[in-house]
Structure 1
């Protein structure tokens, strides 16, 4: 009904409400998730949901093992389909431009959809851009002063 009537629902929820999201994350300090879901119908009668989400979960950096806030901003368009057979794209080929498809229903949990979108937006290996506590010796840009063991290969390439 949301998509058919072009309605919008929006709200705020504490990040602690999203149990699947925070299950394996460090302690979350009262962060809020701001979300909106708007229904749309195109000229061909296809129905869509536009999902906008802003959140700031605390993740654990996999490089320095320190917690950090990871800002998440999601703006996705999901196509609603009537049956599970319609979930697969025509011809079995994935089109990068085509929206993701989800099974539409008269009733579904909007917050569960919001939680799914946040989970999908999280990095597989979370890490700081620059770790504040990483020793300089482990810095990726540090130069050890030794010649590269591969510099010999460049000489062979010239011959």
Structure 2
């Protein structure tokens, strides 16, 4: 396991779903995230309701500046998805710290694996212990 990653000073992370700025999360994902462009608000709300959610917040303003969610059975498997950092705070290691906090939060569950998909952030995830699938030929997807 890699070292714990801390958020930069002035930011905090929470799994409290009541703190989520759903309007902001939906706006980020539906307009600026290649994997979720055009996602309807109602679908985003259902995704949030069925997931373990992580928000990063500015401790002064209280504004949400990043988001990630995890779909998990809390026993064997987790899927990390919808990782997004507001453009105004990118480059401050908030994304790396948030994903590290997600990893650390899930560790006590004793999961066999945490999966994710990324088009362009392999380096960020590799710093936190993620690796390419050893046997991608053993994985399949049902895509609608």
Whichever structure has more strand as a proportion of its residues is 1
- Settle same-fold status: TM greater than 0.5: no
TM-score normalised by L of structure 2: 0.22
Q: Look at both structures and tell me which one has the larger radius of gyration over its CA atoms.
A: 1
